[in-house]
Structure 1
Amino acid sequence: MNVLTFAASSSRQSINKQLATYVASLIPNANVNVVDLNDFEMPIYSSDRETESGIPEQAQRFFNIIGEADVIVVSFAEHNGSYTAAYKNIFDWASRINQKVYQNKKMVLLSTSPGPGGAKSVLAQAVGSAPFFAADVKASYSLPSFYDNFDVEKGVVRNETIKEELSALVSSL
């Protein structure tokens, strides 16, 4: 099973990337492809840019990588209660290739933050809008208080209850 995983963040030390990578590792027999949104940096989307220059190669590459996956695991960082600018821009460009950005792939949507809210606002937005972009959301999960619940050095969840909940999420895939 080919699993694409990424954080909807441009932070190189992204706690969401750590969470997404961990959850993807729980999927049995998975060939995990971890991508970094920084590898898809491009101009901010505008219809004028699209008319003048077309769709950037990075957007096509991102869309193609999605197409190669069987399952997608994404963890959303929250900036001011919404998507990060980095994710939104890549998503906007990819949606110009085809509005069905997620190409009917099975998805696990996650979020986390250092605080107790666990970025629930952005996760709710992602879960709510996903069907409009051909995402087959199988599960979603918000991990609160990242540094209390995740061992950064070992790259694993340290809370046993949360570990069990996350393992159960991916068991249906």
Structure 2
Amino acid sequence: MSLVRAFAARALLVGVLLGAYFYGWRPYGRTVAVQSVAVPLLRTVTGESPEGWTVRSRPGGRRLTLRTPSGDRSFGWTAPAGARFLLPALGLALVAPRRPYWGLLWGGHLALGALGLALLSLGVGAGDAWFVLYDALTQYLVDAFSLGVAAWGVVVEFDLRPPSLSDPD
């Protein structure tokens, strides 16, 4: 592939990803994830909770807050596949434009977002241990997943795997 075609393919894919993210996913998809999925689910769960948790979200917002009435405990949930997805996805699109690693990254972020929502629901309904798992997921595992997929894509694309121990050389 010539240098100009390679640059054009990468620029086109990055442009398509940015356009899809900023004009489709961010204003519509992430908002629907919060307003039509997360808020109704958590309001149903909090309605059955004896602690009286409240769920707050701005109309059209991509983030919600879950609080106790006294305000001593609160948790936030942000719609999945935000900037923590976009930056590694753009890097993967530049490194490997012919392989859809960014699609794997997007699907993984959606799955981790759903897992986070499930952990919040379980924390309200079943106890505090689920909140500890939620904190670990949102603070560490999402970033580790993004970094892992990006590193894996670079290793596979540039064939950087270490030689196997059974190799005679």
- TM-score normalized with structure 1 length: 0.26
More helix by share: 2
More strand by share: 1
Instruction: Give the greater-gyration-radius structure (CA).
Output: 2
Q: Which has the higher contact order (CA 8 A, sep 6+)?
A: 1
